[in-house]
A = this chain, B = another copy of it.
Amino acid sequence: MVRKTKEEAQATRCQLLDAAQRVFCERGVSHTSLHEIATAAGLTRGAVYWHFENKAALLAALWERVSLPIDALVEELEQKYADDPLGGIENKMLAVLRLISENQQAQEITSIVLTKCEYVEENDAVRQHFVDMREQCLDEVEAKFNAAIAKGQIPATTPTRTAALGLFSIFDGACFHWLMDPARYPLMPHAELLVRAYLKGLRQA
């Protein structure tokens, strides 16, 4: 059983990613060997090394895989709230948070990135990806805040860059704090209060 067709090869690559995601989430990134991932996928380390350079590359691939659905989700919401920048920000944030709280795939990735991964030199690619993605979103959110100023939704003196940074801090914090003990409380009602209170506070800054 070797030399599959290209589609089959892509399927095994996907299997490897799925297995890696499960095992990373259970045992942590640096505690899981490539052997564990391979056997969890019903394969051997040869398959892993064929599709990925090493563990760090595998982790990076995992991260990229989840970016697309989230971008799509955000893009979909972009259409509504065209004339309500602040409402758009709020609903996009809550939509992504809701996705994380409901979709296991999204939840596992978030869990890995926030609580099962050490950001050291070896994983710098993932850290960079994290920072860059945030940076890109940051520009969009900042533009939204500027639009909100233009619409009179928030004071003109609002430091929009800092306000946008704060929103992402809230996002990461809500997820991190929840993931440290998910059984203790549900994410969503808590995150909703958080985001709404923050945005409401910005209106009177």
How many copies of this chain does the complex contain? 2
When the two chains form their complex, are residues B190 and A166 in contact, meaning their CB atoms are under 8 A apart?
Answer: yes
Could you say which residues of chain B place their CB within 8 Å of the CB of A31?
A: 30, 118, 120, 122
**Is A177 within 8 A of B181, CB to CB?**
no
Q: Which residues of A contact B (CB under 8 A)?
A: 26-31, 114-122, 127, 130-131, 134, 159, 162-163, 165-166, 168-174, 176-178, 180-181, 184-185, 189-191, 193-194, 196-202, 204-205
Decide if the interface of chain A is mainly helix, strand, loop or mixed.
Answer: helix
- A198 and B115 alpha carbons, distance in the complex (Å): 25
Closest residue of chain B to A28 (Cβ to Cβ) is B118
Instruction: Indicate whether A118 sits within 8 Å of B118 (C-beta atoms), given known contacts A166-B190, A190-B166.
Output: yes
Q: Give complex CA distance A163, B170 in Å.
A: 13
Candidate in A31, A180, A193 with the most chain B CB atoms within 10 angstroms: A193
**Are B117 and A118 in contact, CB atoms less than 8 angstroms apart?**
yes
Residues of B within 8 A of A118 (CB): 28-31, 115-118
User: In the complex the two chains form, is A185's CB within 8 Å of B198's CB?
Assistant: no
